[in-house]
Chain A
Amino acid sequence: EDQVTQSPEALRLQEGESSSLNCSYTVSGLRGLFWYRQDPGKGPEFLFTLYSAGEEKEKERLKATLTKKESFLHITAPKPEDSATYLCAVQGGAQKLVFGQGTRLTINP
C-alpha cells in the first residue's frame, strides 16, 4: 500500500531562517512525487513533480530534492508570504495520488 508521511506537522520560523520539510514515502513503482502549497480555504497549488532519485527542482525560495525513500522541500530565507500548508503526494503504478498529512509552515516577520 502506498504511504506518505510528512514531518514536522507544524513549523514556525523567523523571516530569513532557512529550513527543510520532510516527506517519507513507500510506493510500488514510483511514477512521480508531487509537492503542493495550500492556503486556507483554497485548493492545493502545484509546485513540483520529481521522478527519480537525485533529481532537484527549484522555484523562487523553494527547492525540492528526491531520494529513493524521501523528499525534502528546502526553504531558503523565507518570507511571511511563504506561510501555508505544504503537501507531498506520490503516484505509483495504480496511478492514484496519495497524500501525506501536510506540514503547516508559519513565517513570522
Chain B
Amino acid sequence: SQTIHQWPATLVQPVGSPLSLECTVEGTSNPNLYWYRQAAGRGLQLLFYSVGIGQISSEVPQNLSASRPQDRQFILSSKKLLLSDSGFYLCAWSNRMNTEAFFGQGTRLTVV
C-alpha cells in the first residue's frame, strides 16, 4: 500500500535561518506531488506542485522554493525564513489516474 512520510512534525526556527522540509512517498511510481500551507482555521493554500522529476510549478510568489530530486521525494526550502513563513505545511500526492490524493501529517513551523 502507498504511504507518505513528512518530517519533522514540529519545528521552531529563528528568523533568517534556512529551512528544509522533506516528503517521501512509498508504494507508487510517478506521483503528482504537492506542498500546501495552512494558516490557523483556514483552508489549504497551494504553494508548489510537481508532475515529474525536476518539474516544479510555483503558485504563489514567496520566500520558499521546492525541488524534486527523485521520483518520490519532494523538498520545500528557504534560504532565509521570515516571521510570515510560520504555519502548518502539508505534503500530498495523487496518482496519475486522479482516483485518490493523500496527505502527510504535516509540519508545524514556528519562526521566532
Q: Are A43 and B103 within 8 A (Cβ)?
A: yes
Q: Count how many pairs of residues, one from A and one from B, have CB atoms less than 8 Å apart in the complex.
A: 64
Which of these, A36, A42, A96, A101, contacts B49 with CB under 8 Å?
A96
Q: Are B105 and A42 within 8 A (Cβ)?
A: yes
Q: Are A46 and B101 within 8 A (Cβ)?
A: yes
Interface size class of B (residues with CB under 8 A): 20 to 34
Q: Are A46 and B42 within 8 A (Cβ)?
A: no
- A99 and B46 in contact, given A31-B98, A43-B90, A49-B98 (Cβ under 8 angstroms): yes
Considering the complex, which residues of chain A in the window 49-100 have a beta carbon less than 8 Å from any beta carbon of chain B?
A: 49, 87, 89, 91, 94-100
Interface size on A, residues (CB 8 A): 25
Q: Are A101 and B43 within 8 A (Cβ)?
A: yes
Give the one of B94, B99, B105 with max A CB within 10 A. B94
Q: What is the bound-complex CA distance between A94 and B59, given in angstroms?
A: 12
Which of these, B32, B51, B105, contacts A43 with CB under 8 Å?
B105
Q: Are B49 and A95 within 8 A (Cβ)?
A: yes
User: For residue A34, which residues in chain B have a CB less than 8 angstroms away from its CB?
Assistant: 101
Q: What is the bound-complex CA distance between A42 and B88, given in angstroms?
A: 9
Q: What is the bound-complex CA distance between A49 and B44, given in angstroms?
A: 18
Give the one of B41, B44, B49, B104 with max A CB within 10 A. B44
User: For residue A89, which residues in chain B have a CB less than 8 angstroms away from its CB?
Assistant: 44, 101
Considering the complex, which residues of chain B in the window 91-110 have a beta carbon less than 8 Å from any beta carbon of chain A?
A: 92, 94, 98-106, 108
Q: Are B100 and A44 within 8 A (Cβ)?
A: no
Q: What is the bound-complex CA distance between A34 and B59, given in angstroms?
A: 20
Q: Are A99 and B43 within 8 A (Cβ)?
A: yes
Q: How far is the CB of A93 from chain B (nearest CB, A)?
A: 11
Q: Are A97 and B92 within 8 A (Cβ)?
A: yes
- 14 A-B contact pairs sorted by A residue (CB < 8 Å): A32-B98, A34-B101, A36-B103, A43-B90, A46-B100, A46-B103, A49-B98, A95-B94, A96-B34, A97-B46, A97-B92, A99-B43, A101-B42, A101-B43
Instruction: Across the A-B interface, give the 9 residue pairs with the lowest CB-CB distance, nearest first.
Output: A101-B43, A43-B103, A99-B44, A32-B98, A43-B105, A31-B98, A96-B49, A43-B106, A44-B103
